[in-house]
Amino acid sequence: MDKQKVYNPVIDVLRIVAILAVIGIHTSTRILEVVKFDISGYIFVFIFNQAIRFAVPLFFLISGFVLELNYRHANHYISFLKRRVSRIVIPYLFWSIIYYYFVYTIHTINLPHTILTGDASYHLYFIPSIIIFYLLFPILHKYQSFFLSRNTIIILGFVQVLLVAYTYYILPLPFYNPISIALLNYFMFVFGMYISKNSNTLLLVKNDKRILIGLILAVIWVITEGYFIYIHTHNYLAIYTQWRPSILLYTILLFIYTYRKCMNIHWNIKLIKQISHLSFFVFFIHVLVLELFWRYIGKLLFAHIKGSFLMFLFTLVIFIIIALVSFLLAYLIHKIPKVSAITG
């Protein structure tokens, strides 16, 4: 049997969940910024914002999973790397220029430096970081008997917890992006590789209730620690950052629980593939859609919204609008031959 033809729709489902969570984070964060981080007064928006903080760590996990899955069938690493990197770098350069010159036009660093660090827009830091893992991947794969052994995974996980705990509770890591982001996410990437090779082990766990209870406790941990640390310090990074021990655990449990549950669902494979395929373009464009919507519509509507729960509903409406418009634009752009190679 040719494993290359095997398709796992659960990973695409998780990718769709992750991109929707990214949109939700950016939408709810915009509201929290406008209300000057009055998280007590707008508690529902805050809870929503914190509960979907698994998004970017989940993307790193998915990337490791898919790379390991695909590389087994690659004839040569260089050709594999060219395909992967070209799919990312060209759209990344295109959107970096768009955001640098047309969206966020006040700069303290030049465009080349911005491209290296992913600072043309606040969501682009992910791309330089994932490229680092692409470059390291052949080493991880070649020595997988060491890096993907159970004992090594446990040690790497323990060290990762120490790193994210240090950067969240004490001081940020003394490195520039994308190095610091890579250091704070290496375990999610390697764990994704490990699960890709041992996905059957996820189905051996017999007690879903324990996983669900752990998942619920983890999300409560994420929300409460973000709330109390921000109330105590008034440091917005307490609720902004996704690099925390709580979110690390939350993301892993969410992946395991969702993976197990989704394996028993009969998906519309064609639809799932199509939506997942559009998600890369959506990742790039949704911030631009959000900025335009907020500038011309959102601010006007915001002035008439009163009350915590109504503001939460307002946030959900904006989230749905931004997601639908972004996916619609992605669908239309992908109808134009070869354009998606530039835009993602």
Confidence class for position 316, pLDDT limits 50, 70, 90: very high
Confidence class for position 84, pLDDT limits 50, 70, 90: confident
Radius of gyration of the chain (CA): 20
The answer on pLDDT for 6 being more than 60 is no
Burial class of residue 46 in the structure, from the number of CB atoms within 10 Å of its CB (0-12 exposed, 13-18 middle, 19+ buried): buried
Full DSSP string of 135-178 = HHHHHHHHTHHHHTSHHHHHHHHHHHHHHHHHHHHT---SS-TT
pLDDT value of position 254:
96
Measure the CA angle with vertex 198, ends 210 and 245; round to 5°: 50
Confidence class for position 1, pLDDT limits 50, 70, 90: very low
% pLDDT > 90, the chain = 79
Burial class of residue 144 in the structure, from the number of CB atoms within 10 Å of its CB (0-12 exposed, 13-18 middle, 19+ buried): middle
pLDDT value of position 70:
77
Q: Decide which of 198 and 125 is more confident.
A: 125
Eight-class DSSP state of 9: H
Confidence class for position 62, pLDDT limits 50, 70, 90: very high
Task: Count the Cβ atoms, other than its own, within 10 Å of residue 12.
Answer: 23
The answer on pLDDT for 105 being more than 80 is yes
Confidence class for position 204, pLDDT limits 50, 70, 90: low
d(CA 234, CA 268): 46
Q: What is the largest CA-CA distance in the chain?
A: 61
Average pLDDT of the residues in 133-144: 90
Instruction: For 258-301, write each residue's pLDDT tens digit.
Output: 998 888 788 888 899 999 999 999 999 999 999 999 999 999 99
The answer on pLDDT for 336 being more than 70 is yes
pLDDT value of position 8:
82
Copy the structure tokens of residue 303.
């002035």
Confidence class for position 331, pLDDT limits 50, 70, 90: very high
Residue-averaged pLDDT of the chain? 92
> pTM of the prediction?
0.94
pLDDT value of position 261:
87
Return the amino acid letter for 55.
A
Helix axes 77-98, 126-142, angle to 10 degrees: 170
d(CA 283, CA 61): 16
pLDDT value of position 262:
87
Eight-class DSSP state of 244: S
Beta-carbon contacts of residue 111 (< 8 Å; ≥ 6 apart):
96, 97, 100, 120
Q: Decide which of 135 and 220 is more confident.
A: 220
The answer to whether 160 and 186 have CB atoms below 8 angstroms apart is yes
SS3 243: coil
Q: Decide which of 240 and 208 is more confident.
A: 240
pLDDT value of position 85:
75
Q: Decide which of 107 and 205 is more confident.
A: 107
Copy the structure tokens of residue 237.
């990074």
Average pLDDT of the residues in 120-130: 96
Q: Which of 11-15, 71-75, 175-179, 244-248 has the lowest mean pLDDT?
A: 71-75
Confidence class for position 213, pLDDT limits 50, 70, 90: very high
Beta-carbon contacts of residue 97 (< 8 Å; ≥ 6 apart):
111, 120
Return the amino acid letter for 97.
I
pLDDT value of position 263:
81
pLDDT value of position 304:
92
pLDDT value of position 120:
96
